[in-house]
A = this chain, B = another copy of it.
Amino acid sequence: MTNSSESLEPLSVSLSPQERFEEYLQTRGLRQTNQRKFLIDAVFQEHDHFDADELIDRLPRRGEKNYVSSATVYRTLREFVDAGLLKSFQLDGRTVYELDYGYPQHDHLYCTVCRQLIEFQSRELMSIRDDVASEKGFRVSGHRMIIQGICRACGKLRRKKRKQDLV
């Protein structure tokens, strides 16, 4: 689990994720299927970070109504990323997804103890990014910044534990 209790508020956007995806599909001659509609709802009920496995776990099982095969889940998650609805990145080997469409750009702190992702925003970070890139003649398409460490809560637990160990 990488759910974060500290997530950012959605922005207001003119199209809903569903509408936005519809537009994406239409401009490419792709189809609106029940699976895609169902998955977009499932995904935008998420508030935080998730991976394919966690998502599949919360979806109907084989045989149940609205079952979607995992191959389709994987395929569709990639489409959502292409469509700009989700962002994805790698963490501890697995692919983590988060809502992108309608959410402000941000980066993450990652607690290596509880594996929680905490979001933060920094304008300065963006401007450093752009300065560095232009200095190297680089056309930026995006970036990924993750600060690893130990969060406040886990830090407290550790200190408590060390104290106990001394007793």
* Residues of chain A whose beta carbon lies under 8 Å from any beta carbon of chain B: 90-91, 93, 109, 111-112, 118, 120, 122, 124-125, 128-129, 132-133, 135-152, 155
Contacts and interface: CB of A to CB of B under 8 A. Distances in A.
Contacts of A125: 125, 128
A155 B139 contact: yes
Nearest to A158: B139
Contact of A144 (B122, B146, B150, B152): B146
A12 B109 CA distance: 32
B144 A144 contact: yes
A61 B79 CA distance: 41
B143 A148 contact: yes
